[in-house]
């Protein structure tokens, strides 16, 4: 039986979702998965990015991370998305990425991908849950299998208790308020384990 292939796809302006993506990759590798960490292509003009020091620093820090493509989605047995919330919804960059996967969807290549999502916002009720539900609505159209963490481990309560996916509050200083590393790694391992069951059942 071959290892589960996991794509961790993130979009990050301030570095939070990049950090969460790296934790997810660590957790998945501990479960034996083959992992790719990939970023969603940036659509904002460089002039706008240059006006925000944190955004500019994140672009620099992630410059060597490959941009996610349709080939990566096709390659993966499982996908974890880590994205910030934008007015209770997905960032335009992420929506654009999902919207360009119509070819894969039309050919049935998104069916039975095991998918899980994580999110962040500047306050506890800043739209994290709505963002994840928006992501999962698209995944239902894909025919994907949603691997939400639920309350499958006590570590989830310590990180704020979001059953839809790990979410974190980011303070004005740009630092994460809740300690979510354990919850992220648990979610990644759960996603890999579910993908393993699906993959082995299909072999």
For residue 202, the model assigns a pLDDT of: 66
Domain 5-202 is in which class?
Answer: alpha beta
Number of alpha carbons in the 13 Å side-chain half-sphere of residue 86: 12
Q: Where are the domains of the chain?
A: 5-202
Q: What is the pLDDT of residues 81-100, one digit of tens each?
A: 999 999 999 999 999 999 99
For residue 173, the model assigns a pLDDT of: 87
For residue 200, the model assigns a pLDDT of: 86
For residue 1, the model assigns a pLDDT of: 55
Number of alpha carbons in the 13 Å side-chain half-sphere of residue 186: 22
Give the closest residue to 131 by CA, choosing from 17, 19, 26: 17
115 contacts 149 by C-beta, under 8 angstroms = no
Q: How many CB atoms lie within 10 A of CB 38?
A: 21
Task: Output the tens digit of pLDDT for each of the chain's 203 residues.
Answer: 579 999 999 999 999 999 999 999 999 999 999 999 999 999 999 999 999 999 999 999 999 999 999 999 999 999 999 999 999 999 999 999 999 999 999 999 999 999 999 999 999 889 999 999 999 999 999 999 999 999 999 999 988 899 999 999 998 888 899 899 999 999 999 999 999 999 988 65
150 contacts 164 by C-beta, under 8 angstroms = no
Give the closest residue to 40 by CA, choosing from 72, 6, 75, 4: 72
């Amino acid at each position: 039986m071959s290892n589960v292939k996991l794509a961790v796809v993130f979009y990050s302006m301030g570095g939070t979702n990049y950090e969460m993506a790296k934790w997810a990759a660590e957790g998945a590798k501990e479960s034996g998965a083959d992992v790719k960490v990939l970023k969603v292509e940036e659509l904002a003009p460089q002039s706008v990015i240059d006006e925000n020091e944190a955004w500019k620093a994140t672009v620099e820090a992630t410059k060597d991370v490959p941009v996610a493509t349709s080939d990566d989605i096709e390659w993966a047995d499982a996908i974890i998305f880590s994205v910030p919330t934008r007015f209770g919804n997905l960032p335009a960059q992420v929506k654009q990425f999902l919207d360009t996967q119509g070819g894969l969807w039309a050919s049935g290549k998104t069916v039975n991908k095991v998918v899980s999502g994580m999110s962040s916002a500047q306050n506890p009720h800043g739209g994290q849950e709505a963002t994840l539900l928006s992501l999962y609505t698209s995944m239902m159209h894909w025919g994907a299998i949603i691997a939400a963490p639920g309350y499958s481990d006590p570590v989830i309560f310590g990180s704020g208790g979001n059953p839809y996916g790990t979410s974190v509050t980011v303070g004005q200083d740009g630092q994460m308020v809740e300690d979510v590393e354990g919850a992220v790694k648990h979610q990644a391992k759960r996603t890999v384990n579910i993908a393993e069951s699906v993959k082995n059942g299909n072999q």
